Homo-oligomer: A and B are copies of this chain.
């Protein structure tokens, strides 16, 4: 049985836990992560932590500065715009493909996914809700069955999460927009053209809801964030 997706690989496991902490906004952009501290928290040596850092750095989730250490990335305004431009180029087409390929099981899975997201909101776990909201896009590309583009989207969605952490003022109004529902409906009907259009609009909305002039701040200790 390999239903247990726990990676037997230490560095993967730790990279994923760190990524989740960032994506759920438990670790604020700019936070410094010392190799020793992280290693001690997870009970591994710096060797492992460094490898995990390098992976996250390649996904632009953290910024690795030579002889200085690892910091949760702080996308600039320019990077934020680039990320959304890239998403606008890729995701609508993926939404179309997904709509054309989605099975009944896929649709059910996505509906369940949104269910979890709502549950998280209800439990006031906004970090997790935000993470799931991003994962929705990743799942969509998975259905489109394009692994290569999926890896790009995964990175872009992750970076979007950082952008949101930095430039989103009104937190609690999160993705209430039922864009995801609309998307699923279009997919359930196999309407690729509509799905593509809805996705385009959804991404534009997301970008428009940011205030790129102001940056929110806030920090938290490592141990608390990685519990």
| Cα of A156 to Cα of B152 in the assembled complex, Å | 11
Q: Is A83 an interface residue (CB 8 A)?
A: yes
Do B9 and A79 touch across chains, with their CB atoms under 8 A apart?
no
Q: Is A90 an interface residue (CB 8 A)?
A: yes
Knowing A9-B66, A66-B9 are in contact, say whether A85-B149 is a contact too (CB < 8 A): yes
Do A146 and B54 touch across chains, with their CB atoms under 8 A apart?
no
Tally chain A residues at the interface, Cβ within 8 Å: 22
Do B146 and A82 touch across chains, with their CB atoms under 8 A apart?
yes
Residue of B nearest to A145 (CB): B82
| Cα of A143 to Cα of B147 in the assembled complex, Å | 27
Q: Is the interface of A mostly helix, strand, loop or mixed?
A: helix
Do A83 and B9 touch across chains, with their CB atoms under 8 A apart?
no
Residues of B within 8 A of A90 (CB): 89-90
Do A86 and B54 touch across chains, with their CB atoms under 8 A apart?
no
* Residue from A51, A55, A149 having most chain B Cβ neighbours under 10 A: A149
Q: Is A93 an interface residue (CB 8 A)?
A: yes
Q: Is A124 an interface residue (CB 8 A)?
A: no
Do B149 and A89 touch across chains, with their CB atoms under 8 A apart?
yes
| Cα of A66 to Cα of B8 in the assembled complex, Å | 10
Q: Is A58 an interface residue (CB 8 A)?
A: yes
CB distance from A92 to the nearest CB of B (A): 10
Contacts beyond the supplied A82-B148, A85-B149, A89-B89: 11 A-B pairs with Cβ under 8 Å = A51-B54, A54-B55, A82-B146, A83-B148, A85-B146, A86-B146, A86-B148, A86-B149, A86-B152, A89-B93, A89-B149
12 intermolecular pairs with C-beta atoms under 8 Å apart: A9-B66, A51-B54, A58-B58, A82-B147, A82-B149, A83-B148, A85-B146, A86-B148, A86-B152, A89-B89, A89-B90, A89-B93
Across chains A and B, which 10 residue pairs bring their CB atoms closest together, nearest first? A82-B148, A58-B58, A86-B148, A86-B149, A152-B152, A54-B54, A82-B146, A83-B148, A89-B93, A82-B147
